[in-house]
Structures are given as C-alpha cells and as structure tokens.
Amino acid sequence: MASEYLYKEEHGDGDPILCLHGLGANIFTWRYFIDPLSRHNKLILVDLKGSGKSAKPEDGHYSLHDHADAIYELILKNDWRRLTLIGNSYGGALALLLAVRLEESDPSRLSKLVLIDAGA
C-alpha cells in the first residue's frame, strides 16, 4: 500500500480538509492554518512520500502520479467525503490531479478545490 509511507496529522472535527504541500516542504507549511481551519472542520496534514516525517519508499517512485496514488489510497482508506483539497505549489498540481480522479470515480468525495501558487 502506497499510503503506508505517509505521515499525517488530524486536527478538529467536521468535514475534512486535506492540505498538500509543495516539493522540498512538509506539513510545517500549514502551521498557521491549523487553528482557523480546524475550528469547524477536520484538518488533515500529510507529508508526501519522502518528505518531513513520511518514509522514503524503497522503490524510489516520486512522480506526480505516484504521489496521487498514495493520497488517493489514503482518501479511500479513511472514507473521506465532502473533502476540501488545498494544494500549494507542487501540492496544487497534485490536488488538481486528485480532484479529477475523485470526480471521475465518486463525486461525493470532493466538495471544494483550493489551489495556492499551483504548478500545473
């Protein structure tokens, strides 16, 4: 399972908000978002494969699609619905790819997409 490599933190309760950082970054990117976004929502912060506290996969696969597979698997495993995806930089490109995949597979999983300085 690709998602087994991922470190995640959850803050608050409510509809899920998943934040995806850029390359060379980690969940520290979102430190100022934790309090305001977790007041009425479940804020989920994930270190992408090989970043922050996430493990480095032995296969060395770090493509956009490899990251998308791992995050998509995490979304399904946790059965997150009405999800807001927020992506910064590379995380924005990743969020956009995930949004398309979620809309095609099960539109009830995605509520909103927020892109911040997204690479595309």
The 10s digit of each residue's pLDDT in 33-70 is 999 999 999 999 999 999 999 999 888 889 999 999 99
Record the pTM: 0.95
pLDDT score, position 60: 87
Domain total in the chain? 1
Residue type at position 70: A
Across the chain, what does the average pLDDT equal?
A: 95
Domain span including residue 79: 10-55+63-116
The two structure tokens encoding residue 26: 């980690």
Residue 5 lies in a domain: no
Residue 2 lies in a domain: no
- Label residue 49 exposed, middle or buried (CB < 10 Å: 0-12, 13-18, 19+): buried
Residue 38 lies in a domain: yes
Averaged pLDDT for residues 22-32: 97
CATH of the domain at 76: 3.40.50.1820
